[in-house]
Structure 1
Amino acid sequence: MNKILIPIDFSENAERALAAAKIIAEKETTQLLILHAYQPYIADVNITPGNVLPGIDGGDFLSMTNELEGEFQKKLEKYIEEVIAEGYQAEAIWAIGSVQSAVEEAIETHNPSLIVIGRTGTGGFMDKLIGSSATSIGLHSTCPVLVIPPQSMPNKFQKVVYATQFEYDETDILREVFVLMNHLGANLTLLKIQSDSQPNIQADHQFIDEIKSKFTIAADAIVFRESRHVLDGIEDYCDEVGADLLIMSARERSFIEEFLINPSVTRKLIIDTHVPLLVFHLK
């Protein structure tokens, strides 16, 4: 990983994202890009005519907003100083505007290898990032996205589950995954959930044979489970084995978007899973 982009909001969830990024980063070669998107308050003059805020004239309000912006900039600088003191390479990215637009601009400018996002509940940071377009970052980013849920404080990624349906050629993604597993010293399991609601178009063995021919993977590291719902099956298996990282691939009208037809289920996978979720993107 050459560059890891970490959008932060100075909350505990930002700490979780930063902790996960440090696990993956190599101190000598990985640059941690720590981004904060500042959204200044814009008064509604229809509500507060004559003043930008009740009891505060324009000059006072401008001074207050400038002071607030300065405080957030200092917080970002402190984050950078602390990360560098720990031996990591780090750079601050200060942006004005929405989180989503700031992330998109940072991707275009810096071309990160990975985005790490600390997720909150309804109305929080992740909701600002994803917004009403649930697939805009998590499913359609040009680089992998790691989502850290609020239930998790990562200190290692050693037991990893890669959920697949063996319906598409995922060789390129698996190559990246195995490199990451070697770096982390992690154990990888390939998991397929068999469900009546899950189409099974391609023969599994052709994909499994291809994977075995290109990668070293034990027979017992390929697991099949049955479940009424694919999502429940994935989460139940992760809980059973104590997985600390779940990996999935996404492509337009593929496993996540097409086979899990209900868009609320797709949103749940990206936003609500209690296991850290790393999403790769099939090209």
Structure 2
Amino acid sequence: MQTGLESKKNDLDNWIHESSIWTSDVDFWLDEVRSFQKVLDKAVNLINDKTRLKSLDHLQNIVHYYGKKILIDLKSKIFHHRESMSSDLNGTIDATYKTASAEHQNIHTEVLDIEKRMREYKKEFRELKETIDLKEKNLKAPFKQVLIPTDFSLNASRAVDYALSILGSGTKTIKLIHVFDSFVPTTLDHTIDDAAAILARKEEFEKEISRIRKDFPDLASKVEPMFQVGNLNQSIEKILAEEKVDLLVMGTRGAGNGSLLFGSNTSSIVRSVSTPILVIPDEAPLLPPKRMLFACDLENVKRPEGMEIFKCIAQQYSADLRIVHVDLKEQPIDSAHERFNVKEVLEELSLEGENIEYVQSNDVLDGINEYVKNNMIDIAVTINHHEGFFKTLFSPSTTRQMVLHSHIPILVLHDNNR
């Protein structure tokens, strides 16, 4: 049976051991605080919005307060407590036991409190890190320049918002252009080449720029406004010819139900330019795509311009990729795989490892629309072929129908040989 003195010695031995564990815990927390600081350093470099930067101040205070004071003071307190108890074992235990017990209990309470707080802080920093990781991932997107025409209509604004929300973080420059067509009546005052109308339109443009800067403060510095007087199609083609634009983003219709700006102009530009085009309908949700449809032509396949853009969007959001070939009902659907060298097709498109689904329909467009509807597709990707299986898809009437009536964004890539 232990005597009172032996029991106190055992307590001191246990407390000394527990103090060593606490020291290791504090060292671990100090390492975590240093990792918190690295996350904050990245956040400062990636977040440009002053309001959001200010919201990080409390996290920076946590790092400074715990890294420079709280944990350092606690570690020192534990060290002196352990040294004191070690001395007590070689001295008069009865005289110091009560003090050591009280101090040990106080430190234990402090350790438990800090442990709880560190778990809470770790959760905050984990969430911040996830945000930073997503931003860094977006920065790896291949968009150096994106061109977005606008006429201030609801659909045009939707196209702007979609591009900024989904692609903005990974884009170096976002060119927002409004072209005042001086050769047709305007929606403002039905005058031709009127200086007052141009001034009024510039004011509308400034309002749109202000809205964008308010709604997307992180991206405000990337937006480059461009106001021109002339013809929309010619202005776009000139910019695409003179500058390295990676992606053109347009709405499906503009002011006046598409009769003045988009609509017919969108389908015309789809057929005339070689730059990838993302066409945005009114109903497009501002959410990352989860399911993407690649409408694959198995005839005369050549790697199109913009495959990197398509693949990057899919990888960036871990989207479920569906590769679909619409097989006309003239032939049995089972023969499609036999009629084409699918492996070579996928290699040419840099889609090795993917599978192709076959849809049978009397019409290519009907087949695509039916698949989109039944499979909750978020973005449809097509190749604008000059010849071959999808030639009818990009005929003037069909393109206009597809662009105007689609309820999901359409990414149009272009055959290099068209």
Aligned to 1:215: 351
Match of 2:341 among 206, 209, 220: 206
Match of 1:124 among 244, 254, 257: 257
CA contact (8 A) 2:252 2:279 kept: yes
Between stretches 161-170 and 21-30, larger displacement belongs to 21-30
Aligned to 1:196: 329
Between stretches 201-210 and 107-116, larger displacement belongs to 201-210
Aligned to 1:162: 294
Match of 2:361 among 210, 218, 227: 227
SS at match of 2:269: coil
Aligned to 2:248: 115
Judged with a 3 Å threshold, the aligned counterparts in structure 2 of structure 1 residues 12 and 87 are, in CA distance, closer, same or farther, namely: same
Judged with a 3 Å threshold, the aligned counterparts in structure 2 of structure 1 residues 129 and 159 are, in CA distance, closer, same or farther, namely: same
SS at match of 1:9: coil
Judged with a 3 Å threshold, the aligned counterparts in structure 2 of structure 1 residues 81 and 162 are, in CA distance, closer, same or farther, namely: same
Q: Which amino acid aligns with 2:313?
A: L
Aligned to 1:104: 237
Q: CA deviation at 1:164?
A: 1.5
- C-alpha separation between the residues in 2 aligned to 1:30 and 1:261? 31
Aligned to 1:248: 382
Aligned to 2:83: none
Stretches of structure 2 lacking an aligned partner (at least 5 in a row):
1-142
Q: CA deviation at 1:187?
A: 1.6
Q: CA deviation at 1:270?
A: 3.2
- C-alpha separation between the residues in 1 aligned to 2:398 and 2:368? 12
Aligned to 2:318: 185
Judged with a 3 Å threshold, the aligned counterparts in structure 2 of structure 1 residues 26 and 276 are, in CA distance, closer, same or farther, namely: closer
User: Could you tell me the TM-score, scaled by structure 1's length?
Assistant: 0.78
Q: CA deviation at 1:107?
A: 1.5
Judged with a 3 Å threshold, the aligned counterparts in structure 2 of structure 1 residues 201 and 122 are, in CA distance, closer, same or farther, namely: farther
Q: CA deviation at 1:174?
A: 8.0
Q: How many residues align?
A: 264
Between stretches 135-144 and 115-124, larger displacement belongs to 115-124
SS at match of 1:275: coil
2:38 corresponds to 1:38: no
- C-alpha separation between the residues in 2 aligned to 1:174 and 1:9? 26
Match of 2:276 among 132, 144, 149: 144
Q: CA deviation at 1:121?
A: 7.2
- C-alpha separation between the residues in 2 aligned to 1:264 and 1:122? 21
Query: Which is strand-richer, 1 or 2?
Result: 1
Q: CA deviation at 1:138?
A: 0.7
2:418 corresponds to 1:272: no
Q: Which amino acid aligns with 1:215?
A: L
Kindly provide the CA deviation profile for residues 15-51 of structure 1, in whole angstroms up to 9, marking residues without a partner as x.
22112212442526431111111235878xxxxxxxx
Between stretches 146-155 and 206-215, larger displacement belongs to 206-215
- C-alpha separation between the residues in 1 aligned to 2:256 and 2:150? 15
Judged with a 3 Å threshold, the aligned counterparts in structure 2 of structure 1 residues 183 and 140 are, in CA distance, closer, same or farther, namely: farther
Q: Which amino acid aligns with 1:105?
A: K
Aligned to 1:91: 224
CA contact (8 A) 2:252 2:262 kept: no
Judged with a 3 Å threshold, the aligned counterparts in structure 2 of structure 1 residues 230 and 147 are, in CA distance, closer, same or farther, namely: same
Aligned to 1:49: none
Q: Which amino acid aligns with 1:224?
A: Y
Stretches of structure 1 lacking an aligned partner (at least 5 in a row):
44-51, 54-60
Equivalence map 1:66-85=2 (5 Å): 67-79=199-211, 81-82=213-214, 85=217
CA contact (8 A) 2:289 2:379 kept: yes
Judged with a 3 Å threshold, the aligned counterparts in structure 2 of structure 1 residues 210 and 103 are, in CA distance, closer, same or farther, namely: closer
CA contact (8 A) 2:275 2:306 kept: no
2:378 corresponds to 1:236: no
What is the Cα-based RMSD across aligned positions, in Å?
3.5
Judged with a 3 Å threshold, the aligned counterparts in structure 2 of structure 1 residues 83 and 94 are, in CA distance, closer, same or farther, namely: farther
Q: CA deviation at 1:116?
A: 0.8
Q: Which amino acid aligns with 1:244?
A: D
- C-alpha separation between the residues in 2 aligned to 1:201 and 1:240? 22
Judged with a 3 Å threshold, the aligned counterparts in structure 2 of structure 1 residues 170 and 188 are, in CA distance, closer, same or farther, namely: farther
Query: Which is helix-richer, 1 or 2?
Result: 2
Q: CA deviation at 1:6?
A: 0.7
- C-alpha separation between the residues in 1 aligned to 2:257 and 2:354? 41
- C-alpha separation between the residues in 2 aligned to 1:217 and 1:206? 14
User: Could you tell me the TM-score, scaled by structure 2's length?
Assistant: 0.55
Larger radius of gyration: 2
Q: Which amino acid aligns with 2:146?
A: I
